[in-house]
Amino acid sequence: MLPEGIFQVNTCGFPPLEDRDVSLSSLVGLDLFGGGALSAEETLRLAELEKKAVNDMFIILSDVWLDSEEAMKNLATVLDGYESVEVVPSLFVLMGNFCSHPCNLAFHSFSRLRLQFGKLGEMIAAHPRLKEQSRFLFIPGPDDVGPSTVLPRCALPKYLTEELQKHVPNAIFTSNPCRIKFYKQEIVFFRQDLLYRMRRSCLIPPSTEETSDLFEHLVATITHQSHLCPLPITVQPIIWNYDHCLQLYPAPHTIVLGDSSEQKAFKYTGITCFSPGSFSNDSTFVAYRPCTQEVELSAL
């Protein structure tokens, strides 16, 4: 405080980032994930199974435009490639947007989009090994069909997806963001053009002392804030009853940020973070091995 009564800030920084193990040690008996609390014996058993799951691989794509012939041709190429490998991927994650045009009040092609989901189901079903041995997870994007633009976003409506599900019974349509458990690991998927929106709402340019990479600044911001979308409610409305779905506490093992910006990967304080890029614009995707947290940035 200056003599004139002015409060002067010399340094402004993030809250300290708490290690996941430290957080869990103070939350004994509490289940913040929602899958049920695990006993010590069950935790050890899962740890042993995780060590053996060296062949498990996730294929993650963002911006899969079903109305783009080029995108669908490239997706068929990706599926053809993984159909022929010795061990097929255990999970395919397809994140929106699933249409090149925003599904807003001016959008009147819902029946056509429904047919396009059905064609995607036929494409997946044409690869019998993937259909039988892989899971397919669908996460809506910011411009996909939904009741509003607030977060978290609910799953895609059944009207659009039921044709696909007839061909691919093990397809899962979930919310945005989405969390999955891989044995002991917690993995968060979030589809939002977060880098653009955070940069647009930034009052002071990020410091370039440590790094000039904007994706690394973004990762540091959300992990220290322990929140996927630390933006004002005027910029991004949030359903407050479900704000806990966006929280990153305890810190997850992996954060997948489906962003329309370029493909990036960054490991920060033990947390693996990456963006697969835009599949429809840049033909990029990520092959991720959760056992070793190895990120393989891929492109056609």
* The one-letter amino acid at 47: A
Q: Which of 295, 254, 253, 297 is nearest to 277 (CA)?
A: 297
Report which of 218, 235, 269 is spatially closest to residue 227, judged by C-alpha positions: 218
Average pLDDT, the chain: 93
Q: Which region among 102-106, 118-122, 149-153, 180-184 has the lowest average model confidence (pLDDT)?
A: 102-106
pLDDT in tens, 248-279: 999 999 999 999 899 999 999 999 999 999 99
Residue 238 has pLDDT above 80, yes or no: yes
Rounded to 5°, the CA angle 130-135-140 comes to 120
Tokens 């370039």 locate to 208
**pLDDT level of residue 243 (50, 70, 90 thresholds):** very high
- Pairing status of strand 254-258 against strand 91-95: unpaired
Collect all residues with Cβ–Cβ distance below 8 Å to 33 and sequence separation of at least 6: 179, 181, 186
Q: Which residue has the higher pLDDT, 47 or 136?
A: 136
Q: Parallel, antiparallel, or unpaired: how do β-strands 171-173 and 135-139 relate?
A: parallel
Q: Is residue 35 predicted with pLDDT exceeding 80?
A: no
In this predicted structure, what is the pLDDT of residue 11?
Answer: 80
Decide which of 207 and 221 is more confident: 221
Angstrom distance (rounded) from CA 250 to CA 265? 21
* pLDDT > 90? residue 209: no
Tokens 């991004």 belong to 236
Task: Give CA–CA dist 224/244, Å, rounded.
Answer: 16
3-class DSSP assignment, residue 185: strand
> Closest Cα to residue 68, out of 263, 278, 286?
278
Which tokens go with 297?
């940035």
pLDDT given for residue 42 in this prediction: 87
**Quick one: pLDDT at residue 31?**
75
| Separation CA 213–CA 219 (nearest Å) | 10
How much is the average pLDDT of 123-131? 97
Neighbouring residues of 66: CB distance < 8 A, sequence distance ≥ 6: 72, 98, 99, 113, 116, 117, 119, 120
Question: Is 180 or 9 the better-scoring residue by pLDDT?
Answer: 180
How does residue 172 score in pLDDT terms, banded at 50, 70 and 90?
very high
Q: Does the pLDDT value for residue 28 go beyond 80? A: no
* Confidence grade of residue 206 (pLDDT, cut at 50, 70, 90): confident
Residue spans of the domains in the chain: they are 20-25+53-299
**Do residues 174 and 167 lie in contact, with contact meaning Cβ atoms separated by under 8 Å?**
no
Give dist(CA 115, CA 99) in Å, integer: 12
pLDDT of residue 59: 98
* pLDDT score of 188 more than 80: yes
The DSSP letter of residue 54 is T
Domain 20-25+53-299 has CATH 1.10.3720.10: no
Confidence (pTM): 0.94
Alpha-carbon gap, residue 63 to 271, rounded angstroms: 24
Are 238 and 151 in contact, with CB atoms under 8 Å apart? yes
